[in-house]
A and B are shown apart, each in its own frame.
Chain A
Amino acid sequence: MNLIQVAAEKPNIAPETILHIGNFPVTNSLIMTWLIILIIGSICFFTSRKLKLKPGKGQSIIEIIYQSIRELIDQITGDEKYTKKLFYLIAPLFIFIAFSNLLGILIPFLSSITYKGVSVFRTPTTDFNVTLSLALAMILLIQWISIKRRGLLSHFLKYFQFHEIIKGFKKGIGAGVMGIVNFILGLMDIITEFARVISLSVRLFGNIFAGETLAIIILGGFAYILPSVWMAMNLFTGTIQAMVFGCLTAAYYMLAVKETE
C-alpha cells in the first residue's frame, strides 16, 4: 500500500480470545462490554448523586433522552400502563446497543490497543453471539409473557387451531375450507417466530459488521476524506439500528399481549 492507501486487516466473524479466567475464554468483545458497563454505570452514578429540581447540563441531557425514549414507546403501545411495563425493558436495551455501536467510532485509537497482535477492544455488536443472545432472550421473554397470560394450553392452541376447522365444517363446506386455511396460517406462525429471532439478530449484526468491514475496505482504497464520511454515516446507522431493535421488540410484545384484551 502506498501513500493514499492504508492497509488494515479485515475483522473475521468470530471474536478472538484474549485470555482465560480459569476455564472460561475471555474474548475482546467481552472486554469492551465491560468497558461499556463501566462507562454507563459511572455516568449514572455521578449524575444521580446530586439531583436538582432545576437541572444542570448533565441532568438535562439525561432527561431529554428519557423523555424521547418514553415518547417513542408511547407511540408503539398507545396505552399508558403498557408503557410503564415496557419502558424498563426497552430503554436499557436501546442505550446498551446504541453505546456499543457508537463507542468504537467516537473514541479514537480504541482498536489500536493490541495484545500480541490482536486488538483488545472490539465492538460487541459485531459479535454474532451477542446479537443472537439478545434477540433470543427477547423472543423467549415474549413467549413467556404470552404463556403467563393465557395459560399453556391456550398459547399452544394459537398455533394449532383445531377448533377453527371444527367450527368451519359445522357451518358448511365453504367455511370449512376457510377453517383449513386458518389452520395452515396458524402453523406458519411457528415459522414466523423463528424468522423473528433470525431477522432481529442478523439485522443488527449485519449492519454493524458490514459497516466496519467496509470502513477497512475504503481505507484500503482511498484514505483521505471518504472514510470519515462513511464513519459519520455509521454513527447514524448505529443509532437507527438500536432504535429499530427496541421498537421491534416493543411491537412484538404489544402483538402478543393485545390479543388477550
Chain B
Amino acid sequence: METQFVVEAARLLAKGFCTLGMGFSAIGEGFLIGKALEAMGRNPEVEGSLFSKMIIGTAMAESTAIYALVAFFIL
C-alpha cells in the first residue's frame, strides 16, 4: 500500500531531524571548554581543580545530545 511508503519516508525524515539538534550541543561545549582554557591560561595554578569541573560540565552539556541520539535509535 502507498501509505506504508509514506509512513516509512516520514520516519526517516524524523530520524534526520533528530540528528540536527546535536549541533547546538557542540557549540555549547566548545564555549564551555574555551572559557575553561582561558581561565586556566590566566591563572595556571587552578588547572587541576578546573580540569575535573570542566569534564563534569562537558558531561552535563552533552546530555541533551545524548537524548537526541537515544530518540534516533528508538525511531
Interface positions of A (Cβ within 8 A of B): 13, 72, 75, 199, 202-203, 205-207, 209-210, 213, 240-241, 243-244, 247
Contact = CB atoms under 8 A, between A and B. Distances in A.
Nearest to B58: A240
30 contacts: A13-B73, A13-B74, A72-B52, A75-B49, A199-B63, A202-B66, A202-B67, A202-B70, A203-B59, A203-B63, A203-B66, A203-B67, A205-B70, A206-B66, A206-B67, A206-B69, A206-B70, A207-B66, A209-B70, A209-B73, A210-B66, A210-B69, A210-B70, A210-B73, A240-B55, A240-B56, A240-B59, A241-B59, A244-B59, A247-B56
A203 to B, nearest CB: 4
Is chain A's binding surface mostly helix, strand, loop or mixed?
helix
Contacts of A213: 73
B60 interface: yes
Interface in B23-75: 49, 52, 55-56, 59-60, 62-63, 66-67, 69-70, 73-74
Interface of B: 49, 52, 55-56, 59-60, 62-63, 66-67, 69-70, 73-74
B42 to A, nearest CB: 21
Contact of A244 (B56, B67, B70, B73): B56
A240 B67 CA distance: 17
A202 B70 CA distance: 8
A243 B56 contact: yes
A100 B62 CA distance: 21
Given A210-B66, A213-B73, A247-B56, 8 more contacts: A13-B73, A75-B49, A202-B66, A203-B59, A203-B66, A206-B63, A240-B56, A241-B59
A210 B49 CA distance: 29
Nearest to A10: B73
Contacts of A72: 52
Nearest to B66: A206
Contacts of A206: 63, 66-67, 69-70
A205 B74 CA distance: 13
Contacts of B52: 72
Contacts of A202: 63, 66-67, 70
Contacts of B63: 199, 202-203, 206
Contacts of B67: 202-203, 206
Contact of B60 (A13, A75, A244): A244
Contacts of B66: 202-203, 206-207, 210
Contacts of B69: 206, 210
